[in-house]
Structure 1
Amino acid sequence: MRFSSPIYTLKRHAKQLARDNDIKLHEALDQVATKEGFNDWSHLAANFSKATPARKIMGQLRSGDMVLIGARPGHGKTLLGLELAALAEKNNRKSYVFSLEYNEADVWDRFAKLGLDQEAGTRPIVVDTSDEICAAYIIERLGYRPGEALVVIDYLQLLDQRRSNPALEDQMRALKTFAVESGAIVVLISQIDRAFDLSSSAMPGLGDIRLPNPLELSLFDKRCFLHDGDIQIETAA
């Protein structure tokens, strides 16, 4: 079933409905889900996970790939990255999420909304929100696990914020080398420059990636851009 709006838009509608009618958010979410033709929000979320483009993207990823996911805030880039992490186990890969943006509780709250809500200690995904996250930290944390790891990093630009870290391009080259040598898949979530909002383009591209410092974008084998519920998948030439 196709939704009338992207799921993040439906969540916004539910939040507004809860405020306007002084009801609990879960009640508003269920009302929105009912209008979409589902029994409740959990029913909608389960169907969303089946229809998500993450499955299509996962089917195109290969060992050694480095992947870029880019979108403006609120267009679903982090959710897509987490969906890929959630799908990795079914593709015989161990998932790791490294976030400099969110704390661990926030990350697991987002996973719960995707239907992955497991007790601590039984969770199949490793979530790391250390302030020390950089390419060297990630590589050391993973060790050498040929063909087993899918790594999601949230997000690209924050790797460049500490002066003690190597240059962003050096970090990306280190991660690319690690991916190729270990067979891992490395996914980088990226900001899009706000100037895109003033453009006439329907979808951001490589030229819209916000880069405070130089970075050779050809290092990314696959690029996924999202905007207003649409997605564009590119493969490096």
Structure 2
Amino acid sequence: MVASRRSRLEPGPADLSTMLLRNVPPHNREAEQAVLGGVLLKPSLLDKLVSELRRGDFYDPRHQLVWEAMAGLWRGNKPVDLVTLAEALAAAGSLEKVGGAAYLAELSSFTISAAHALHHAGIMRGHAKRRAMLDMGRRMIEIAYDPERDPSEFVGIAQLAADAVLKDRLDAHGESPAEFLDPYTHYLERLEESGGGGVATPFWKLNALIRSFMPGEMIVIGARPSHGKTALALTLAEHAVGLGHPSGIFSLEMAKYQLLNRIFSSGTGVAAQRFRDGKFSDDDWARIYALCDRMRDMPLRIYDKPARKPSDIRATCRRWRQDGGLDIVFIDYAQLIPPDGHHHNREQEIASISRSIKLLAEDLALPVVLLAQVNREVAKRKSPKLVESDLRESGAIEQDADIILLIQPWDRSGREDIQFTQLTVAKSRNSMTGDVPVAYNRKNVRFEQDDRLN
């Protein structure tokens, strides 16, 4: 009896084909009953199952209601049995919807599930994933039939489907407070333990304003051409890697060796000019080789292929995360990214690119630092101080950015190698704005703390 029942819990391809032909989404009613019955037989299973299953993993609406009631009792440290479960469902007005006490008693008859509840939960998750894939497949079919949609959007949909399978983000029904409050408080506890989390910058005054670059944020660095956007990004990346954060750099403007010239000048103190004329001293070579030795084990990735679309960047980030982790990404720069689809004008292209980068930050839960040019007309103003709207083709970038940092050169102080600069936090959704004095070391193409003004 047990063997025959277990064999029915794992449908083969023929069963799934039958479901599709009947237009019934993939599910397994007996696996769902087995999990719920297993909990009634052995309530301690909830210690594991609550973190493994979500409401949307149950296809049968009755089972969704029963699961919510069970999880609610567990979160309230109350016993889970036929009596308390029936009371909880009755209090929520759901007892009759699930079939009454008679159906709960039927669930409790699934005695095999206590030993195999986790196995059955895995069957349920597999069906939930298939349902999610079907939903995304329907979206692709809609795109294929819509003459206004570009076929390149298939790439983005396919990546979302892959992410859904990899990350179990499948619940399309939303979550109730009973489902999201415990994970949220655990998040806050981890936040306290980590001292705030995120990726800190090397500038203490900037950290005082924004605390750090947080997962899911899109940080835009804006400046006029040749005013240090790449240098600032590399300074931030060098600091992040030094703190142990796996970091990725997409260089759409500079080839890899050009980027490495800047990294090595900044990291060794060897003048940037020597990486152009090749006039290195013995001491220079000693510093270069020493940095080579240190960099071999650094959690850093560099991607220098030009004209990479947002979907390419997303796919690469996903591979980096799977291979060795990824905590922060730098993209140099926004106006060089081609859109995934065809658009009627440049404004729509930039809007699509900006939204794709913001979704990348949110979906992979990491900060993305996006460099962007500002309008050249700024220099013609009597007061050339940058503001958010100075970002070139900026409407969507302004809207999507969580933080906007603008580089404001203001004083050379008669020195060729040092340019005193302000970083203006022009926008910050969740923290403060303000000005941060820094020094741009042109000799070694890096930004440094401006101790003269702090």
TM range (shorter): 0.5 to 0.7
Query: In structure 2, which of residues 422, 426, 450 is the aligned counterpart of residue 234 of structure 1?
Result: 426
- 2:239 and 2:312 map into 1 onto residues whose CA distance is 24
Aligned to 2:252: 100
Q: Which amino acid aligns with 1:185?
A: P
| Kept in 2: contact 1:65–1:184 (CA 8 A) | yes
Q: Return closer, same or farther for 1:83/1:175 CA change in 2, 3 Å cut-off.
A: same
Deviation at 1:86? Answer: 1.1
2:424 counterpart SS class: strand
Deviation at 1:104? Answer: 0.2
Of all paired residues, the percent bearing the same amino acid is 24
2:379 counterpart SS class: helix
Q: Return closer, same or farther for 1:225/1:139 CA change in 2, 3 Å cut-off.
A: same
Higher relative contact order (CA 8 A, sep 6+): 1
Q: Return closer, same or farther for 1:161/1:172 CA change in 2, 3 Å cut-off.
A: closer
Aligned to 1:69: 221
Aligned to 1:81: 233
Moved more, 82-91 or 188-197: 82-91
Bigger radius of gyration: 2
Aligned to 1:225: 406
Deviation at 1:233? Answer: 1.3
1:201 equivalent to 2:393? Answer no
Q: Return closer, same or farther for 1:184/1:82 CA change in 2, 3 Å cut-off.
A: same
Deviation at 1:184? Answer: 1.0
1:136 counterpart SS class: helix
- 1:56 and 1:236 map into 2 onto residues whose CA distance is 12
- 2:216 and 2:339 map into 1 onto residues whose CA distance is 26
- 1:52 and 1:92 map into 2 onto residues whose CA distance is 14
Task: Report runs of 4+ in structure 1 exceeding 6 Å deviation.
Answer: 161-166
Listed one character per residue, the Cα deviations across residues 91-148 of structure 1 (whole Å, up to 9, x for unaligned) are 4421111111100001011111221642575453211111241211111001174983
1:115 counterpart SS class: helix
| Kept in 2: contact 1:54–1:83 (CA 8 A) | no
Instruction: Please give the root-mean-square deviation of Cα atoms over the aligned residues, in Å.
Output: 3.1
Deviation at 1:235? Answer: 3.2
Q: Which amino acid aligns with 1:227?
A: Q
- 1:55 and 1:111 map into 2 onto residues whose CA distance is 24
Deviation at 1:161? Answer: 8.0
Query: In structure 1, which of residues 97, 101, 110 is the aligned counterpart of residue 262 of structure 2?
Result: 110
- 1:109 and 1:154 map into 2 onto residues whose CA distance is 16
**How high is the TM-score relative to the length of structure 2?**
0.37
Deviation at 1:69? Answer: 0.5
| Kept in 2: contact 1:136–1:171 (CA 8 A) | no
Moved more, 189-198 or 177-186: 177-186
- 1:92 and 1:122 map into 2 onto residues whose CA distance is 11
- 2:204 and 2:252 map into 1 onto residues whose CA distance is 22
| Kept in 2: contact 1:102–1:129 (CA 8 A) | yes
Aligned to 1:148: 326
Q: Return closer, same or farther for 1:86/1:180 CA change in 2, 3 Å cut-off.
A: same
How many residues align? The count is 186
1:184 counterpart SS class: coil
- 2:242 and 2:315 map into 1 onto residues whose CA distance is 25
- Determine which structure has the larger strand proportion and give its number: 1
- 1:182 and 1:162 map into 2 onto residues whose CA distance is 19
1:114 counterpart SS class: helix
Q: Which amino acid aligns with 2:226?
A: G
Aligned to 1:56: 206
2:406 counterpart SS class: strand
Aligned to 2:310: 135
Query: In structure 2, which of residues 374, 377, 380 is the aligned counterpart of residue 192 of structure 1?
Result: 374
- 1:159 and 1:201 map into 2 onto residues whose CA distance is 31
- 1:179 and 1:163 map into 2 onto residues whose CA distance is 20
